[in-house]
Amino acid sequence: MKIKKIESYQVRLPLVSPFQTSYGMLNEKACDILVITDEVGNQGFGELVAFEQANYIDETLMSSRAIIQSELLPLLTSHDIGKPADVTQVFQEVKGNVMAKSALETAIWDLFAKRQNQPLATLFDVTKNSLAVGVSIGIIKNLTVLKEQVTDYLNQGYSRVKLKIAPGYDFEPLAMLRAAFPDLLLMADANSAYTMADITLLKKLDKLNLAMIEQPFTTTDFVAHSELQKMMQTPICLDENIRCLDDVKTAYALGSCQSINLKIPRVGGIQSALEISRFCQEKDILVWLGGMFESGIGRSLNLQFAAQACFTFPGDISASSRYFVEDIINESFRIENGCISLPQGPGLGVSLSASNLKKYAAYQLLYKDELL
């Protein structure tokens, strides 16, 4: 395929309500939507999901933009790309920067599917056309409000609840939810806020029949997670630690976790995510699809990827209305009878809303081939 043009929409979407985690408060989500146009006018969309601050992982929106401009775009536009896996190959010489790579790589996958006039999901081992999903809930200090919020989400059809925890906000809200909803598929996400000094508290969480505890310790520590997993019944799930297949192999070798929260952008794109999901299946690690407040572009990608047979645990793929007042796509993802349906059109199956882009985004032309 030939690349004629690469454009970027720098988007800022207001959230329906502020979202608090152990590392900070989010009021609006910034992201870039990359649009890659081929020689016949097909357009592939990729979302750059990196955060503005380096408080989730080290990569940021600014650092990703810089590496896209200085290294990834020149590589992408100077090589022949026949299939999406070629992008992974071409980007290999750039170390790390997984979210920057993913933004471009996923746009090429979308473009590739559109050139074949096929939904993206047909390029994966997809068996479902709608899926049960979970919701991730930020820190809500008032437990009455928290309980009402969970009740509301369950009524909407979410089949799994993840609560963000942090030191001082952990056992009590989780125990309250467990008492109020004895059969709820409930889990906790610490976003690396604890240390081995908190071991007594963490062990206490074993009483609550949680589906898993996500990322209790720092983002690079496989050893502490392994020690904790040996002391706990509850499965440990790794999120921030996992940036590539090698990280999963390390976690497996050390016994650092029983589950992986797989996010396509956090592992450098679809090719890497496919390899990781295959490895997890082989090794009996429970792999499920996470989220990072994606706009409709990243949300469609997550839905299509999570429709594969190996994803049995409900992902962090909520309805559009759970996060955003308005989105930048024309379609919206709704929960009906407890499930969200996959879009059916070619590629990601969603279209950009010109009017909402005007309202919420700034435009930048990143590359143009004057000969095409």
Annotated catalytic residues are 164, 263
- The sheet carrying 24-38 orders its strands as 43-48, 24-38, 3-21, 361-368
Task: Give every CB contact of residue 343 below 8 A, 6+ residues apart in sequence.
Answer: 119, 300, 303, 304, 331, 349, 350
CA 254 to chain centre: 25
- Site map (CB under 5 A) of Mg ion, residues 212-231, x = contact: --x-----------------
316 binds Mg ion (CB under 5 A): no
Measured distance CA(120)–CA(140) in Å, rounded: 37
Q: Name which of 8 and 318 has its Cβ closer to Mg ion.
A: 318
38 binds, among ligand OSB, Mg ion, none (CB under 5 to 8 A by kind): none
Phi-psi category of residue 337: left, alpha or beta, with phi > 0 → left and psi -120 to 50 → alpha = left
Q: What is the residue-wise DSSP string for 59-70?
A: --HHHHHHHIII
Backbone angles phi, psi at 219, to 5 degrees: -70, -5
318 binds, among Mg ion, ligand OSB, none (CB under 5 to 8 A by kind): ligand OSB
Q: Name which of 190 and 303 has its Cβ closer to Mg ion.
A: 190
Q: Name which of 91 and 324 has its Cβ closer to ligand OSB.
A: 324
32 binds, among ligand OSB, Mg ion, none (CB under 5 to 8 A by kind): none
Backbone angles phi, psi at 280, to 5 degrees: -60, -40
The CA–CA distances, whole Å, from 333 to 255, 303, 340 equal 37, 10, 7
Nearest residue to ligand OSB, using CB? 291
Positions that interact with ligand OSB (CB under 6 A) = 56, 136, 189, 191, 239, 290-293, 316, 318
239 binds Mg ion (CB under 5 A): yes
Of 289, 304, 290, 283, the C-alpha closest to 350 is 304
38 binds Mg ion (CB under 5 A): no
316 binds, among ligand OSB, Mg ion, none (CB under 5 to 8 A by kind): ligand OSB
189 binds Mg ion (CB under 5 A): yes
- Closest CB 240 distance from ligand OSB, rounded Å: 7
Task: Give every CB contact of residue 145 below 8 A, 6+ residues apart in sequence.
Answer: none
- Closest CB 21 distance from ligand OSB, rounded Å: 7
170 binds Mg ion (CB under 5 A): no
- Closest CB 135 distance from ligand OSB, rounded Å: 7
136 binds, among Mg ion, ligand OSB, none (CB under 5 to 8 A by kind): ligand OSB
